[in-house]
């Protein structure tokens, strides 16, 4: 039993709602919900208050709960693949990309902590009919959970528990760790452009509102995008290999792309997948990619070169004349390091 499950058991034994319990603990229903889902741990004062309210000792509340069994043991993040399914999992996020049959594609996003994650976004597309369905959750200005959806079936799936046992049956492609601050970030002067692009990009970006649900996740060479914008059913979910070299970034191909916008008349709205795809090797190895290796025989259309830079910012020439800006201090939901770092 986890600490959250124990708190929920104690609360329900008194026939109290989360809102009623939150008022007694001088907190919100949303905070109580996070405690019970093990997405947050009560602070010390709240632990004492909970123990006193239920007339138990803090030892009874905290001991023999699984929440703290692995405390101090690094969570091993990874990328997993089996058949037409790929999952990338971190301490706080799991993204799932999949195909059903030959034409149906989908993607799911889970948020939480460790193995206590719940489904917060889902989108699926029938590539033959062009029908796209989706649903996602976000916290509104009052801290309440709200849902945006165009399909009741997708809406009903939200809140489902992440079944981590599935990962044991899948091939593990990559392993990395979360940087909790023990690995400081460096400047261009200290590491150079290539290594700064590698270091600054590794991590998770998260944004959720009524206008947009978006997660960007980069493990180092693998990049994952998960974006749902209700306006015009603008959805973009993708998996690709993108690797830094001395003068910028090189794309080695997007092997999953679920794209939808308005009536899908734009050329970029193509959707496809190839879970058998593996990143091609470089003649001199992935850690010393040279400009010549990225251009000979293929052109430079898949390379984004440095346009300008400072010690804590690098700007690349992106697709369609867009600028790709990477900063040392970019806010991240999580930051990563390689497991052997």
pLDDT tens digits along 118-172: 999 999 999 889 999 999 999 888 888 899 999 999 999 999 999 999 999 999 9
Strand 272-273 and strand 248-260: the pairing is antiparallel
pLDDT in tens, the chain (341 residues): 788 888 999 999 999 999 999 999 999 998 998 898 888 889 988 999 999 999 888 888 887 676 665 555 678 899 999 999 999 999 999 999 999 988 899 999 999 988 889 999 999 999 889 999 999 999 888 888 899 999 999 999 999 999 999 999 999 999 999 998 888 999 999 999 999 999 999 999 999 999 999 999 999 889 999 999 999 999 999 999 998 988 899 888 899 999 999 999 998 899 999 999 988 776 555 454 454 444 444 445 688 899 999 999 999 988 777 899 999 999 999 999 887 66
What pLDDT does residue 166 have? 94
Convert the pLDDT of each residue in 252-268 to its tens digit. Answer: 889 999 999 999 999 88
- CB-CB contact of 93 with 204 (8 Å): yes
CA 103, 85, 74: angle at the middle one, nearest 5?
A: 155
What pLDDT does residue 66 have? 63
**What residues form DSSP beta bridges with 146?**
138
- CATH class, domain 3-68, is mainly alpha
Convert the pLDDT of each residue in 313-326 to its tens digit. Answer: 999 988 777 899 99
End-to-end CA separation in angstroms for the chain: 34
Interacting residues of 261 by C-beta distance below 8 A, sequence separation 6+: 232, 233, 234, 235, 268, 269
Residue 8's nearest CA partner among 40, 35, 31, 41 is: 35
Percent of the chain with pLDDT over 90: 62
Question: Could you tell me where in the chain the CATH 1.10.260.40 domains are found?
Answer: 3-68
HSE (CB half, 13 Å, CA atoms) of 251?
16
pTM of this structure:
0.78
**Rounded Cα distance, 199 and 133, in Å:** 36
From residue 59, give the alpha-carbon distance in Å to each of 10, 22, 24, 51, 55.
15, 22, 21, 9, 12
**Rounded Cα distance, 254 and 256, in Å:** 6
């Amino acid at each position: 039993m986890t600490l959250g499950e124990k708190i929920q058991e104690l609360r329900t034994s008194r026939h109290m709602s989360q809102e009623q319990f939150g008022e007694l603990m001088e907190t919100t229903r949303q905070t109580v919900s996070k405690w019970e889902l093990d997405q947050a741990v009560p602070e010390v004062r709240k632990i004492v208050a909970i123990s006193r309210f239920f007339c138990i000792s803090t030892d009874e509340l905290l001991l023999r709960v699984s929440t703290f069994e692995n405390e101090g043991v690094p969570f091993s993040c990874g990328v997993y693949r089996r058949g037409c399914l790929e999952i990338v999992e971190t301490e706080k996020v799991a993204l799932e990309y999949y195909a059903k049959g030959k034409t149906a594609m989908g993607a799911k996003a889970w948020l939480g902590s460790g193995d206590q994650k719940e489904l917060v976004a889902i989108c699926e597309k029938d590539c033959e009919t062009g029908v796209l369905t989706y649903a996602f959750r976000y916290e509104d200005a009052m801290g309440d959970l709200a849902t945006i959806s165009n399909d009741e079936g997708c809406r009903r799936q939200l809140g489902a528990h992440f079944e981590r046992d599935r990962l044991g049956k899948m091939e593990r492609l990559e392993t990395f760790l979360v940087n909790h601050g023990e690995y400081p970030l460096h400047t261009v002067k200290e590491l150079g452009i290539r290594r700064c692009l590698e270091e600054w990009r590794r991590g998770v970006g998260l944004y959720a509102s009524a206008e947009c649900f978006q997660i960007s996740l980069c493990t180092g060479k693998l990049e994952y995008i998960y974006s749902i914008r209700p306006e015009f059913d603008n959805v973009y979910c993708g998996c690709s290999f993108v690797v830094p070299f001395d003068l910028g970034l090189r794309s080695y191909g997007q092997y999953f792309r679920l794209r939808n916008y308005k009536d899908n008349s734009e050329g970029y709205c193509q959707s496809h997948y190839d879970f058998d795809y593996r990143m091609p090797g470089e003649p001199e190895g992935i850690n010393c990619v040279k400009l010549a290796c990225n251009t000979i025989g293929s052109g430079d259309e898949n390379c984004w070169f440095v346009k300008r830079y400072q010690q804590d910012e690098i700007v690349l020439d992106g697709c369609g004349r867009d600028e790709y800006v990477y900063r040392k201090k970019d806010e991240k939901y999580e930051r990563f390091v390689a497991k052997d770092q």
